[in-house]
């Protein structure tokens, strides 16, 4: 009998304890449940990029890009620039095989995907529509969330596709065919533009110079190669733009006038001086870019600095950036080549961090040719 009383008393005490500490107990069990779920469930996001002339798909699992496939469009080469109508049609042809390849590379099937990320803008509207429609259809049919990504945010976040990764806050010089910006990056989803081009982008300056020289499109990589055998013997006036903004339209015009005058005097001037012209133009563009980047570091006091975008593939920019960084005590970051030009790997990184923040969009989302940063 005594034992029974003792037993009931003990039970009473335990129940009282559970009652008193219930909210903590509930919290603890919930935490344990989440940890077990996180360990068990990997988060995989499929990303689609189609903002210009590259169709790309990638998969990121728990923050690691495990596949990244891109189909480039050679059809534009004969026109010396991207033809929007042709770009859209090429995206339509490439998009399904590219997504298929990215999924196969990752050793997955569609059922392993937790969300679809896509480039919403900025870019060519016809090109964006293909990627956005594909993303929406996939998300709808699989009943999973949709994540819209800003193309320029993604270029910056390309730094997180692989090690080493910059530490926040860092500065990023994003230089591509359509954009030239210095961005202060506070966090994965918190960035501010400190300066940008008021006219042409740095990539455009390369490509348009290439057109004047009779080079194929895109001329950036060709100028890079030709410049290696040249010297910067020709000088072009540096644009005077206030603050951290850039301008490349004046440079383009002065190159044009310089070439017109030189060719009038010697019709073979371009052929005879091609390497030196390329080297001089490249030196001028990179000088302008690095001067503003140095200024941005001085103003903000930030020493963690990265470069991103298609032009960051330029060998002279990479070399000068690293040398300058060593001189000034910067920690410098350059993403691997495949994450520099347009690719879905960077969209996947941006999408993954938006996923963790619970930042989704709905089926009414539309592509934006211009999109606020
Ligand atoms: P966008 O997103 O604006 O289409 P990308 O990020 O794909 O641009 O970059 C393409 C641009 O990068 C083109 O203007 C191209 O000429 C330039 N580019 C690529 N490689 C190099 C290089 N090695 N040197 C200079 N410019 C380059
Ligand atoms: Mg781009």
pLDDT level of residue 16 (50, 70, 90 thresholds): confident
Answer yes or no: is the C-beta of 52 below 6 A from any ligand 1 atom.
Answer: yes
What is the Å distance from ligand 1's center to 204 Cα? 8
Distance between CA 244 and CA 275 in Å, rounded? 30
Which ligand minimizes its atom distance to the CA of 177?
A: 1
In this prediction, residues 123-151 reach a mean pLDDT of 98
Answer yes or no: is the C-beta of 49 below 6 A from any ligand 1 atom.
Answer: no
What is the Å distance from ligand 2's center to 308 Cα? 9
What is the Å distance from ligand 1's center to 179 Cα? 10
Q: What's this model's pTM, rounded to 2 decimal places?
A: 0.86
Residue range 49-72, pLDDT digits in tens: 999 999 999 999 999 999 999 999
For the CA of 340, the nearest atom of ligand 1 = 6
CA distance to 59, 112, 298, per residue, from 62 (Å): 10, 12, 36
Q: Do the first three CATH levels of 41-157+343-356 and 166-334 match, i.e. the same topology?
A: yes
* CATH of the structural domain 166-334, one choice from 3.30.420.40, 3.40.640.10, 3.10.520.10, 3.30.230.10: 3.30.420.40
For the CA of 217, the nearest atom of ligand 1 = 16
Q: What are phi and psi of 319, to 5 degrees?
A: -65, -50
Residue range 180-217, pLDDT digits in tens: 999 999 999 999 999 999 999 999 999 999 999 999 98
pLDDT score recorded for residue 235: 96
Domain boundaries, the chain: 2-38, 41-157+343-356, 166-334
Closest residue by Cα to residue 206 from 235, 165, 248:
248
What is the Å distance from ligand 2's center to 310 Cα? 6
Write the DSSP string, 126-157: HHHHHHHHHHHHHHHHHT--EEEEEHHHHHHH
Per cent of the chain over pLDDT 70 is 96
Max CA distance (Å), the chain: 119
| Fold designation for 41-157+343-356 | Nucleotidyltransferase; domain 5 (3.30.420)
pLDDT score recorded for residue 34: 52
Answer yes or no: is the C-beta of 121 below 6 A from any ligand 1 atom.
Answer: no
Residues measured by CB to lie within 5 Å of ligand 2, the ion: 176, 342
Answer yes or no: is the C-beta of 313 below 6 A from any ligand 1 atom.
Answer: yes
In this prediction, residues 355-371 reach a mean pLDDT of 96
pLDDT score recorded for residue 286: 98
pLDDT level of residue 9 (50, 70, 90 thresholds): confident
Residue range 300-336, pLDDT digits in tens: 999 999 999 999 999 999 999 999 999 999 999 999 9
Whether cis (ω within 30° of 0) applies to the bond prior to 184 is no
pLDDT score recorded for residue 79: 85
pLDDT level of residue 40 (50, 70, 90 thresholds): low
């Amino acid at each position: 009998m005594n034992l029974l009383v003792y037993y009931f008393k003990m039970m009473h005490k335990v129940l009282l304890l559970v009652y008193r500490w219930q909210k903590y107990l509930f919290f603890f069990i919930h935490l344990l449940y989440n940890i077990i779920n996180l360990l068990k469930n990997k988060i995989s996001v499929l990303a689609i990029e189609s903002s210009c002339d590259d169709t790309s798909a990638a998969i990121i699992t728990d923050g690691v890009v495990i596949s990244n496939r891109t189909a480039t469009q050679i059809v534009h080469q004969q026109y010396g620039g991207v033809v929007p109508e042709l770009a859209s049609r090429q995206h339509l042809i490439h998009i399904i095989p590219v997504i298929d390849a990215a999924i196969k590379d990752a050793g997955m099937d569609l059922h392993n995907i937790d969300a679809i990320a896509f480039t919403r803008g900025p870019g060519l509207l016809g090109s964006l529509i293909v990627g956005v429609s594909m993303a929406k259809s996939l998300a709808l049919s699989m009943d999973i969330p949709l994540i819209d990504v800003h193309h320029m945010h993604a270029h910056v976040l390309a730094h997180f596709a692989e090690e080493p990764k910059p530490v926040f806050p860092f500065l990023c010089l994003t230089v591509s065919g359509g954009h030239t910006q210095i961005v202060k990056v506070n966090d994965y989803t918190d960035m501010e533009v400190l300066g940008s081009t008021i006219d042409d982008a740095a990539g455009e300056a390369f490509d348009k110079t290439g057109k004047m020289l009779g080079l194929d499109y895109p001329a950036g990589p060709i100028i890079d190669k030709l410049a290696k055998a040249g010297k910067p013997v020709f000088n072009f006036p540096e644009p005077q733009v206030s603050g951290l903004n850039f301008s490349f339209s004046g440079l383009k015009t002065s190159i044009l006038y310089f070439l017109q005058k030189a060719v009038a005097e010697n019709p073979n001037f371009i052929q005879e001086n091609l390497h030196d012209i390329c080297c001089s133009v490249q030196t001028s563009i990179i000088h302008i870019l690095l001067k503003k980047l140095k200024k941005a570091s001085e103003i903000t006091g930030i020493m963690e600095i990265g470069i991103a975008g298609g032009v960051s593939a330029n060998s002279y920019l990479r070399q000068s950036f690293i040398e300058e960084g060593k001189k000034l005590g910067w920690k410098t970051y350059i993403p691997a080549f495949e994450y520099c030009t347009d690719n879905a790997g960077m969209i996947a990184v941006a999408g993954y961090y938006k996923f963790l923040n619970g930042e989704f969009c709905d089926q009414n989302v539309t592509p934006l040719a211009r999109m606020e940063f």
